[in-house]
Amino acid sequence: MGSGLGTCTALGYNIVVKPAIFVVEDDPDISRLVRHHLENEGFTVRVYPTGANVLADAERQRPALFVLDIMVPGKDGLEICRTVRQTPGLASVPVIFLTAKSSEADRVLGLELGADDYIAKPFSPRELVARVKAVLRRFERPLPPSPMKIGEIEIDPSAMTLTVRGALVPTTATEFRLLDYFARHRGRVFTRDHLLDSVWRDTAYVTPRSVDVYVRRIREKIEPDPENPRYLKTVRGAGYRFESPK
């Protein structure tokens, strides 16, 4: 995994996908350096000296990540970022800024622009690569809303149905949303607070212990033996993790 490459299974065999990174940088020395090191890591890199054509290209071939110099002639980095965030197909593509002044960094990371990290110039290649990989990892897309089959259970978000070992099991709305969230982020640990933030609707105040109750209800519905969960495990001191059984 460390390579940053993604794989996808289609047509029954594996295709290795080289994630594309779009770089907007006018200084040819820097862009050469960036291209060199990112390509070394197995990424496909596209460099744009100005911000003119990036967006058009990006809409066609959606990149995995943007690396934007804050200041480039023409449309500058900030401008591009803003547009990216407002373009439906690109809104969730992560952005890393290259900044000269560290004072810009805070501003860039500030909420409104929605950058995901920054790298201060002069930067080292190792730093660049490390941050790019880290951001990509953080942004691993949740699986798109399509029916999922995990072990013996099937979750169909569009129908909001849960099928366990062939039998349709009724669920309440919150039960389903929580299970769906877990199933979409298999293998990760979530704290109760995180789950409340991302699964619950209103979230006015709700005790984290409510999560426990729902976990139990879900277990009763999907686990053959709710005492020894194979899917929805508790990670003591941290939260819960959903996993595919071996």
Cβ 142 to its own copies, closest distance in Å?
10
Among positions 136, 215, 218, 222, the unique one binding DNA when judged by CB under 7 A: 215
Does residue number 86 form part of the binding site for its own copies (CB under 8 A)? no
Does residue number 11 form part of the binding site for its own copies (CB under 8 A)? no
CA separation for the pair 9, 29 (Å, rounded): 38
Does residue number 15 form part of the binding site for DNA (CB under 7 A)? no
Among positions 79, 127, 193, 197, the unique one binding its own copies when judged by CB under 8 A: 127
Q: List binders of DNA among 150-189 (CB under 7 A).
A: 170, 172-175
Give the number of residues in contact with DNA, rule: CB under 7 A.
Answer: 28
| From the list its own copies, DNA, none, partner contacted by residue 214 (C-beta under 5 to 8 A by kind) | DNA
Does residue number 131 form part of the binding site for its own copies (CB under 8 A)? yes
CA separation for the pair 149, 15 (Å, rounded): 21
The Cα-based distances of 74 to 53, 80, 166 in angstroms read 11, 10, 59
Does residue number 245 form part of the binding site for its own copies (CB under 8 A)? no
Q: Are strands 20-24 and 44-48 parallel, antiparallel or unpaired?
A: parallel
Does residue number 35 form part of the binding site for its own copies (CB under 8 A)? no
Tell me the β-bridge partners of 16.
7
Among positions 5, 17, 168, 238, the unique one binding DNA when judged by CB under 7 A: 238
Q: Is the dihedral of CA 76, 17, 155, 217 positive or negative?
A: negative
Cβ 196 to DNA, closest distance in Å?
8
Residue 229 CB-density burial (10 A; 0-12 exposed, 13-18 middle, 19+ buried): buried
> Measuring CA to CA, which residue among 106, 85, 2, 129 is closest to residue 118?
106
Whichever of 28 and 208 has its CB closer to DNA, that residue is 208
> Measuring CA to CA, which residue among 94, 95, 96, 100 is closest to residue 120?
100
CA separation for the pair 187, 243 (Å, rounded): 5
E strand or H helix at 7, and its extent?
Answer: strand 6-10
Residues in touch with DNA (CB under 7 A) = 11, 170, 172-175, 200-202, 205-207, 209-210, 212-216, 219, 226-227, 234-239
Residues in touch with its own copies (CB under 8 A) = 1-2, 29, 32-33, 36-37, 94, 104, 107-108, 111-112, 114-118, 120, 122-127, 130-131, 133-135, 137-139, 143-147, 149, 158-160, 172-174, 187-189, 235-238, 241
